[in-house]
Amino acid sequence: MRNLTMLMDYYELTMSNGYFKKGYKDRIAVFDMFYRNNPDNGGFVVSAGLEQLIEYIQNLSFNDDDIEYLRKKGEFSEDFLEYLKNFKFTGNIDAVPEGTIVYPNTPLVTVTAPVIEAQLLETMLLLTINFQSLIATKASRICRAAGDTGAIVMEFGARRAHGADAATLGARAAYIGGAAATATVLADEMFGVPAIGTMAHSWVQFFDNEYEAFKAYAEVYPDNCVLLIDTFDILKSGLVNAIKVAKEVLEPMGKRLKGVRIDSGDLAYFSKKIRKQLDANGMEDCNVVVSNSVDEYLIRSLNKQGARINSYGVGERMITSKSDPVFGGVYKLVAVKDGKDGEYVPKIKISENVEKITNPGKKRLWRIFSKETGYGLADLITLNDEEVKGDEPFAYVDPKKPWKKMKFENVDVKELQVPIFKDGELVYNKPELKDIKAYVADQLKNKVWEEEQRYENPHIHYVDLSKKLYDTKVKMLEDNQQ
């Protein structure tokens, strides 16, 4: 396990040294991680990356080399360096379980810890949750588009990913979002994402001719033979030789050609031509697999054109979320515990940009469900001391329509954040990756409105505030003007 402790922004260390020197190292602070906008103007985000955050915190320690590096910077006191030498996270972390469908401005992760401990987590917390949530969300969009015709999606992006970690963790996130498999072997070894693959154009080029290349591959892999047919000419050469190998090599062995793949050309046109020829030769069970800069937009266009595609290999446009490559998660201080009476004193960040004004205080996140349909009606953020019960009226405020008097009643309610660390100890049972993937699929089928899953102008999921939280926020804004 690599020690990634020093993967942090330098200001986390300068602030921490300052807190230490001013005697605040034991002061409890509360930070929320949230984001402001859904990628690709979508209706929601698939949260991911919690497991890697857990591993980071469990291995968080400064070794001798780290301490010596900081000493040479000349900005940090020796007593602070000694503190870091014995550093261990001792606080609490609550978070939405990985794979939870989430919405803007809701706290995905809440850290309650001595201020230095909470501050030092910032970069890695954002890095893990931001990247994997981005890729899981993009994968969900692509897989839902492909699923409209029953096609499956495979993640093929390692060679276009932004580094080794992005390749493996991106494959993990894509699997959470709905991808069936990956081409990246390390992602299978590390996380259990099923690795698959057949051949590249170089295999076909290596042999004297295309038929011999296909024949050799079929003889080595008769049970899982997928042939790449666009090295020379898709219809006049590749498809002809693939069918010939299926008839002359595989069928005499009692085997079937599993699929043919194309990586170029007009995917709609060629897929229909290929399907027609395969069916004419009694190969209705042979899949048509395509790749080549595929994303949800191209897939939806192909669907409209009647393309006959069974599975997609999706590379750069998923592993980099090319159409919207930045997930804007932020990590903000929202409360500080009063040393005198133990109360959490709310803190607020005010900005000329209204969307950047934070929701103050130590809070709780709830999802409100319709009793009739089971679908989510809204998310509700309350202060930490508030309890929401579905069978009792609960007053809330829509921040966009604060003048309206509104209340929830006769609804089902679920608190979304769960304890992850308690007093520095892991109290969360990490689910299997396949169970996270299934959790995402279940929510999209049974809990999230189809209107929120639209690609254009999706329904905006309501995120409401309790009246107590709203009044607290308004008072802090007013007090700041005095």
Tens of pLDDT along 309-332?
999 999 999 999 999 999 999 999
- Whether 434 is in a domain gets the answer yes
- Whether 154 is in a domain gets the answer no
Bridge partners, 193 (sequence order): none
| Cα(62)–Cα(66) distance, integer angstroms | 6
| Cα(115)–Cα(134) distance, integer angstroms | 28
| Cα(69)–Cα(81) distance, integer angstroms | 10
pLDDT band at 480 (very low <50, low <70, confident <90, very high): confident
Question: What is the span of the domain harbouring residue 335?
Answer: 10-135+325-480
- State the pLDDT at residue 1: 64
Asked if residue 452 and residue 347 are part of one domain, the reply reads yes
Tokens (6 digits) for 203 = 């295999």
What secondary structure, in 3-state letters, does the chain show?
Answer: CCCCCCCCCHHHHHHHHHHHHCCCCCCEEEEEEECCCCHHHCCCEECCCHHHHHHHHHCCCCCHHHHHHHHHHCCCCHHHHHHHHCCCCCCEEEECCCCCEECCCCCCEEEEEEHHHHHHCHHHHHHHHHHHHHHHHHHHHHHHHHHCCCCEEEECCHHHCCCHHHHHHHHHHHHHHCCCEECCHHHHHHHCCCECCCCCHHHHHHCCCHHHHHHHHHHHCCCCCEEECCCCCHHHHHHHHHHHHHHHHHHHHCCCCCEEEECCCCHHHHHHHHHHHHHHCCCCCCEEEECCCCCHHHHHHHHHCCCCCCEEEECHHHHCCCCCCCCCCEEEEEEEECCCCCCEEECCCCCCCHHHCCCCCCEEEEEEECCCCCCEEEEEEEECCCCCCCCCCEEEECCCCCCCCEEECCCEEEECCEEEEECCEECCCCCCHHHHHHHHHHHHHHCCCHHHHCCCCCCCCEEEEEHHHHHHHHHHHHHHCC
- State the pLDDT at residue 60: 96
Residues 211-256 have pLDDT tens digits of: 999 999 999 999 999 999 999 999 999 999 999 999 999 999 999 9
Integer-rounded Cα Rg, in Å, for the chain is 27
Asked if residue 280 and residue 397 are part of one domain, the reply reads no
Question: The CATH number of the domain where 252 resides is what?
Answer: 3.20.20.70
- State the pLDDT at residue 205: 98
Asked if residue 342 and residue 279 are part of one domain, the reply reads no
Question: Beta strands 259-262 and 226-228: pairing type?
Answer: parallel
Signed CA dihedral, 379, 384, 386, 388: sign only = positive
- State the pLDDT at residue 341: 75
- Whether 176 is in a domain gets the answer no
Asked if residue 457 and residue 342 are part of one domain, the reply reads yes
- State the pLDDT at residue 353: 87
Residues 262-285 have pLDDT tens digits of: 999 999 999 999 999 999 999 999
Choose the final residue of a domain: 266, 290, 314: 290
Asked if residue 212 and residue 120 are part of one domain, the reply reads no
- Whether 110 is in a domain gets the answer yes
| Cα(437)–Cα(77) distance, integer angstroms | 47
| Cα(367)–Cα(149) distance, integer angstroms | 31
Q: What is the mean pLDDT of the chain?
A: 96
Amino acid at 106: T
- Whether 45 is in a domain gets the answer yes
- Whether 441 is in a domain gets the answer yes
- At a CB cut-off of 8 Å and minimum separation 6, what does 18 contact? none
Asked if residue 120 and residue 30 are part of one domain, the reply reads yes
- Whether 151 is in a domain gets the answer no
Tokens (6 digits) for 209 = 């001719």
Asked if residue 440 and residue 367 are part of one domain, the reply reads yes
Asked if residue 26 and residue 126 are part of one domain, the reply reads yes
Q: What total of structural domains would you count in the chain? A: 2
- State the pLDDT at residue 354: 87
Angle, CA of 457, 459 and 460, to the nearest 5°:
105
| Cα(433)–Cα(161) distance, integer angstroms | 21
pLDDT band at 339 (very low <50, low <70, confident <90, very high): confident
- Whether 295 is in a domain gets the answer no
Asked if residue 332 and residue 418 are part of one domain, the reply reads yes
Asked if residue 344 and residue 427 are part of one domain, the reply reads yes
Mean pLDDT of 386-404: 93
- State the pLDDT at residue 396: 96
Say yes or no to pLDDT of 2 above 90. Answer: no
Asked if residue 367 and residue 421 are part of one domain, the reply reads yes
Question: The CATH number of the domain where 74 resides is what?
Answer: 3.20.140.10
- At a CB cut-off of 8 Å and minimum separation 6, what does 132 contact? 48, 49, 52, 169, 170, 172, 173, 176
Residues 350-364 have pLDDT tens digits of: 998 888 999 999 999
- State the pLDDT at residue 50: 98
Tokens (6 digits) for 9 = 């922004």
| Cα(141)–Cα(296) distance, integer angstroms | 6
Asked if residue 464 and residue 389 are part of one domain, the reply reads yes
CB 405 within 8 A of CB 395: yes
Bridge partners, 295 (sequence order): none
- State the pLDDT at residue 481: 78
- State the pLDDT at residue 352: 87
